Amino acid sequence: MKKIILPIIAAFIISGCADNKAQEKAALDSVLAIHEKVMGSDESLLKNKTLLDSLLKKDTTALLKDSVTRHLSEVINADSAMDNWMHNFDADLTGKLPVERMIYLRSQKKMITKVDSQINAALLASDRYLKNMKMK
């Protein structure tokens, strides 16, 4: 009986490890896919930042400067959030337990999703504002 149970337990352990690796890979791929999507917005953020900067440098009213500054701040904050996430993200999970890896990857997915939302909101608002200012 012991001869049969040991191979069965070993098979469960091995299949569990393979399943963990597949889950980790899927979680990492998901995080990186969102990252790639967000990186695609980087050029638009830079363009809007440049346009808003040029508006700010023009001789305009205080009210206009306030609205430009607000939109510029949103764009800069969104870009900084992306930079901070990239700087702190570590795909090397060597030495961590499988459960720690999954917790880390899930938290990173939440963070990069939040950055994605922040960038989308900043782009939407600044695009709309620049369109109204006839800058786009």
Residue 118 has a pLDDT of 98
pLDDT of residue 18: 53
> CA neighbours within 13 Å on the CB side: how many for 13?
6
| Location of structure tokens 């992306």 | 82
How far apart, in whole angstroms, are the C-alpha atoms of residue 120 and residue 82? 12
Asked if 24 and 101 touch (Cβ cutoff 8 Å), the reply is yes
pTM here is 0.80
What type of residue sits at position 71? Answer: H
> Could you give the C-alpha distances from 92 to 101, 106, 113, in angstroms and in order?
10, 15, 20
pLDDT for residue 136: 58
- Mean pLDDT, consecutive 10-residue stretches, the chain (136 aa), reads 47 52 94 95 95 86 88 97 96 93 97 97 96 79
pLDDT at 64: 85
Asked whether 52 and 75 are in contact (CB, 8 A), the reply is yes
Q: Which residue has the tokens 């030495």?
A: 95
